[in-house]
Amino acid sequence: MSEKEIIVVEGNNVLSGEVRVSGAKNSALKLIAASLLGQGASTLHNVPLISDIVVMSEVLECLGATVERDGHTMVIDTAQVTSRETPYELVSKMRASISVLGPLVARFGQARVAMPGGCQIGARKIDMHLVGLEALGVEFTVDHGYLNAHTPNGLHGADVTLEFPSVGATENCLMAAVTAHGTTCIENAAREPEIVDLANMLNAMGGKVSGAGSSIIQVEGVPLESLHPCEHTTVGDRIEAGTFLVGGALTGGPVTVRGIDPSYLHMAIMKLRAMGCCVEAGEDWITCSRNQPLQPTDIQTLPHPGFPTDLQAQFMLLCSLAHGTSMVTENVFENRFMFASELARMGADITIEDHHALVRGVNDLQGTDVSSTDLRAGAALVLAGIVAEGETRVHNIKHIDRGYEDYVGKLDLLGADIERVT
Ligand code: UD1
């Protein structure tokens, strides 16, 4: 993709129809890392075609794995992995690269991983990853921007209480605990559906994980030799689904998303209904439509099952067109309101005070040049362009490609007047 490529979208449009969501980015990334524990060829289905997955494949290749891809299926052979080092070049492109830390120490007793960069949405420290892994027997040193992990006395089960239900820290501890000697109990664990997906894959490889999806995860350590490769299908992407549902809510719809378990979006669906939308759902689909004015609401992001921070920008957009004033509070990341100033350039009325955004509804937005500040903000700006007056040109779209498979194609299918232009 050229750095100059932009998305051009014509406004005053209505989205309607059906889209199939891809596999969850935040799941697939960790499932690829977990394949290190299988020591052979694991097959993953429903892997999204997005650039973050390309980076994660490169991380695995860099360690010595072979990765073959056929559409949405990926075969990762980790039998010949010899390196334990993940270079800065890859970790700086994507913070989730550090999720190889847990599996590497579980398999080799050591790892060397560049300190992470990633999305510019706050400090995003890794202290909780380290505290959790230390409890399991990992010792860390830092040199030249790299984190070195060693397990001088092997990994042992432990009680790990996380200060905050961090997704990444839960996953790293979980993957390391799979081969630890004895039982590990992770308390205040993250409860995201992607954690459950990871636990299911680890169990399919011979791990003994229970309680995933609740705040207490138990892992009975098994010998590394007893783990084996597996075949696993990635869960649907709830954030992609939520993004298209917001498209239905914004324009009236109806928009139907398929390939998603509605229970993953319980809180988002409640908020859509509170805002005056009609939401219907079946076993693996959700439809959103609206035939009355958007009502204001208050939203607070929280760890799952609370309202997801990854849908905050999309809902801030909805609030900006509601008939009244809404309050959006960001509790998960410390600097995730950059989107507001881009949306303000389109005519939104948003005042930021610390981690609160006061959003006064306006009658309409106007198309202009805007820039994706991160992945979800980029997706929301494109949606804003679909309802704005005139043409919107969204720049810096590499962020969107990190996490949305064929976003333009899927929106086109729903009736958007949209194209990528170099
Ligand atoms: C994951 C998701 C991301 C989502 C986030 C919260 C992936 C690849 N990304 O990110 O899309 O927005 O969960 O649902 O799965 N923190 C610390 N110390 C730590 C770890 C985290 O202070 O050791 C802080 C972070 O700075 C952040 C908060 O805790 O403010 C939540 O982070 P965490 O849940 O770990 O998110 P990620 O796993 O990075």
pLDDT tens per residue across span 281-299: 999 999 999 999 999 999 9
Q: Sign of torsion, CA 336 298 269 164?
A: positive
Nearest residue (by CA) to ligand 1, atom 15, is: 26
Q: Is 228 in the pocket of ligand 1 (CB under 6 A)?
A: no
Give the pLDDT score at 120: 52
Give the pLDDT score at 118: 45
CA angle 250, 251, 256 (to 5 degrees): 90
Q: Is 122 in the pocket of ligand 1 (CB under 6 A)?
A: yes
- Please give the DSSP secondary-structure letter assigned to residue 296: P
251 CA → ligand 1 middle, Å: 31
**Which atom of ligand 1 has the smallest separation from the CA of 303?**
14
pLDDT of 2 higher than 70: no
Structure tokens at 219: 């892992």
Give the pLDDT score at 116: 77
Burial label for 154, CB within 10 Å (0-12, 13-18, 19+), is exposed
pLDDT of 115 higher than 50: yes
Give the chain's largest Cα–Cα span: 64
Give the pLDDT score at 119: 45
pLDDT of 194 higher than 90: yes
417 CA → ligand 1 middle, Å: 35
Query: Which of 51, 99, 133, 164 has most ligand 1 atoms within 8 Å of CB, for mutation?
Result: 164
- DSSP helix/strand/coil, 413: helix
Contact 365, 389 (CB under 8 A): yes
Q: Kindly report the average pLDDT of the chain as a whole number.
A: 96
Q: What is the band of 111 on the pLDDT scale with cuts at 50, 70, 90?
A: very high
Q: What whole-number percentage of the chain has pLDDT above 90?
A: 92
193 CA → ligand 1 middle, Å: 14
119 given a catalytic annotation: yes
Q: Is 98 in the pocket of ligand 1 (CB under 6 A)?
A: no
Q: What is the pLDDT of residues 83-106, one digit of tens each?
A: 999 989 998 888 889 999 999 999
320 CA → ligand 1 middle, Å: 26
Q: What is the pLDDT of residues 15-35, one digit of tens each?
A: 999 999 999 999 999 999 999
**CA-atom Rg of the chain in angstroms:** 21
Give the pLDDT score at 1: 60
Whole-angstrom distance, CA of residue 352 vs CA of residue 419? 32
Structure tokens at 299: 């939203």
pLDDT of 122 higher than 70: no
Mean pLDDT of 224-228: 97
Q: 212 Cβ partners below 8 Å, 6+ apart?
A: 174, 189, 195, 196, 198, 199, 200
Q: What is the pLDDT of residues 304-361, one digit of tens each?
A: 999 999 999 999 999 999 999 999 999 999 888 999 999 999 999 999 999 999 999 9
333 CA → ligand 1 middle, Å: 8
Q: Is 63 in the pocket of ligand 1 (CB under 6 A)?
A: no
For residue 320, give the nearest of 345, 302, 288, 289 by alpha carbon.
Answer: 345
Which residue in 62, 119, 173, 278 is the catalytic one? 119
Structure tokens at 273: 């209904």
Give the pLDDT score at 368: 97
Nearest residue (by CA) to ligand 1, atom 28, is: 332
